[in-house]
Structure 1
Amino acid sequence: MDFRNAVELLEYCEVKNKSLSEAMLEREMTLFHLSQEKVWERMKHAYAIMKRATHLPLEKDLKSMGGLLGGEAKRLYKRYEEGKTVCGSLMAKAISYAVGVLEVNSSMGLIVAAPTAGSSGVIPGVLLAIQEEYALEDEVMVQALFNAGAVGYLITLNATVSGAEGGCQAEVGAASAMAAAALCELMGGSPRECLDAASTALTNILGLVCDPIAGLVEAPCQKRNAMGASNALISAEMTLSGIRHLIPFDETVEAMYKVGKSMPSELRETAMGGVAATPTACQLCKGIF
């Protein structure tokens, strides 16, 4: 059992009365010749790593290898704890957790590159926040990860999740789309609504460049993970409210890929354009190296 695009995935889900997560679980079992228990345990392990990566920056003082990050998650979370957040509890926790994972990554800690290291904060940030907000069990969250995996698989197969190939729209954009789809399923959305939310999330970040200061996955990557988490929440909320995305998922992915290919190399992870090429960024680069 396999699917090569969203049309095939939706057809399978509708004929078999399956969710996106169930379809992806079946694909993994078939493709790798593994039992459901084995596939589930692997995803459960990934979620455990995600959870640890969101909480570690709140417990310890982490410093990135390049010295550009450290302590941001604690600062954000403190505002939430003090009741000063302008975002509301769910959004405040989601962005705190998302930036925290980037602190773990940049300090050489253990993260899940889902879909990449540079966008690794989006999915755990969103899922941990929603789990706490609604007191959901871990098993429910692991199921949602299979949904996110289906979306990530389709983007990887038909486009890219690489910043060097498609800009940050491919990295944080893909992560945001994956998180939005997973959120939709968690909140009772249909497979079609999940893909609609993913399309909305991708469209919202279309054209975002990849311009890491000093070539490090630190800044502005960390703040873009926070933006990606909020984008996922927004996209899911709009979809669940009955607001349709006009462009089908497959076409949105194709558009993202074409936009990425049309970007000059300076805007695709080379640190030769965008904010990475500003005078201040160049000074920071000299200080690091």
Structure 2
Amino acid sequence: MFVNTGEELIKVCEEKNISIWEYALEAESDESGFSSDIIFERMRKNFQVMINSSNEALHTEVISVSGLIGGDAYRLYKYSQGGSSLTGEFTTKAMARALSSSEVNAAMGKIVACPTAGSCGILPAAIISAGEKLNKNEDDMIKALFTASAVGVIIAKNASVSGAEGGCQAECGSAAAMASAAIVEMMGGTPSQSLHSSTICIQNIMGLVCDPVAGLVEVPCALRNANGVVNALTSADMVMAGIKSVIPFDETIAAMYKVGRQLPMELRETALGGIADTPTGQRLKQQVLK
């Protein structure tokens, strides 16, 4: 049975001397009745979809059905190969991968909602890019997905991963938090360090509204996926350097939930506020929905 809080997660992992991914696999097996091997192979199928969606738009311009976005992953990937990026090839390629999944999603391609379609680019891009950098194999990266899932379950239980409920902090924030925890574990960090990294991610994006132009998960959503990957990667590095969050994980998730409840309806995926309500946002809405 899945635990309800981050504090419980750390406790059970420490008591059993296991990693978060091992706990998640064990809990899912207990709850579903399926063997660990079957569950692991099912996650492998998810991972293959993630690989495809995060790479598809790197080599060809994928345009969304609405025409609002498209080709940015291709442009950013090409730029990453040129040697002139301030943040380096690793970071820009990771961002390009996040954009790729977002563009594939908006073009009605196959993606994994992790935890949502609107934030589908963050976790795959972070895990794949970090895995490459750390010389991890496919099984290692699949294990990281289980780590991420455990964090996602706790967030969903105590707050929300829905933009309509809690703003983009609940979508891109949760995705970054899930990804960062997984990266820390891939880097050899402890369960406690993984949750510190998740906490920093959430705090970095606390209060972010959900304001999709024309009500479509494209603008500014795709670019927020790219920034979400950076949030996950940099938070992991901070924690592995020895930095800890002053505010605990569980208190931060509770705060995110409270902030989400305080956001007005216009700023929770209704496309009635924020970027969606700008003159250009309104013009694009008329253009797309005519």
The alignment's TM-score, normalised by the length of structure 1, stands at 0.98
Q: CA deviation at 1:65?
A: 1.4
- Map 1:1-289; keep pairs closer than 5 Å: 1-289=1-289
Kept in 1: contact 2:20–2:191 (CA 8 A): yes
Moved more, 76-85 or 28-37: 76-85
Asked if structure 1 preserves the Cα contact closer than 8 Å seen for 2:63 and 2:107, the reply is: yes
Shift of residue 131 of structure 1?
2.1
- Tell me, in whole angstroms, the C-alpha distance in 2 between the residues paired with 1:285 and 1:207: 25
* Amino acid aligned to 1:19: S
CA drift of 1:210 comes to 0.3
**Residue-by-residue CA offset, 1:142-197 (whole Å, 9 max, x unaligned):** 00000000000000011100000000000000000001100100000000000000
Kindly provide the CA deviation profile for residues 211-236 of structure 1, in whole angstroms up to 9, marking residues without a partner as x: 00000000100010011100001110
Bigger mean CA deviation after superposition, 194-203 or 57-66? 57-66
Distance 2:204 2:71 in 1: 28
Query: Take 1:81 and 1:186, find their aligned partners in 2: how far apart are those partners?
Result: 25
The Cα shift of 1:133 comes to 2.1
Aligned mates of 1:196, 1:161 — CA distance in 2? 19
Residue 161 of structure 1 aligns to a residue whose secondary structure is coil
Aligned equivalents of 2:121 and 2:2: distance in 1?
Answer: 28
Structure 1: gaps of 5 or more residues:
none
Retained in 1: the 8 A contact 2:172–2:224?
yes
Post-superposition CA distance 1:99-128 (Å, at most 9, x none): 110000000000000000000000011111
CA distance in 2, matches of 1:96, 1:142: 21
**What is the TM-score normalised by the length of structure 2?**
0.98
Q: Distance in 1 between the 2:14 and 2:136 partners? A: 26
Give how far 1:59 is off: 3.0
Unaligned runs of 5+ in 2: none
Q: Which amino acid aligns with 2:189?
A: G
Report if aligned partners of 2:180, 2:201 keep a CA contact under 8 Å in 1: yes
Structure 1 distance, partners of 2:170, 2:247, is 18
The amino acid of 1:211's aligned partner reads D
Q: Distance in 2 between matches of 1:2 and 1:156?
A: 12
Contact 2:134 2:187 in 1 (8 A): no
Shift of 1:2: 2.7
Q: Is the 8 A contact 2:61 2:73 kept in 1?
A: no
For 2:94, the aligned partner's letter is A
Q: Distance in 1 between matches of 2:89 and 2:209?
A: 29
Secondary structure (helix, strand or coil) at the match of 2:118 reads helix
In structure 2, C-alpha distance between the alignment counterparts of 1:134 and 1:237, rounded to whole Å: 13
Deviation (angstroms), 1:259: 0.2
Quote the offset at 1:86 in angstroms: 1.5
Identity %: 47
Letter of the aligned partner of 2:23 in structure 1? A
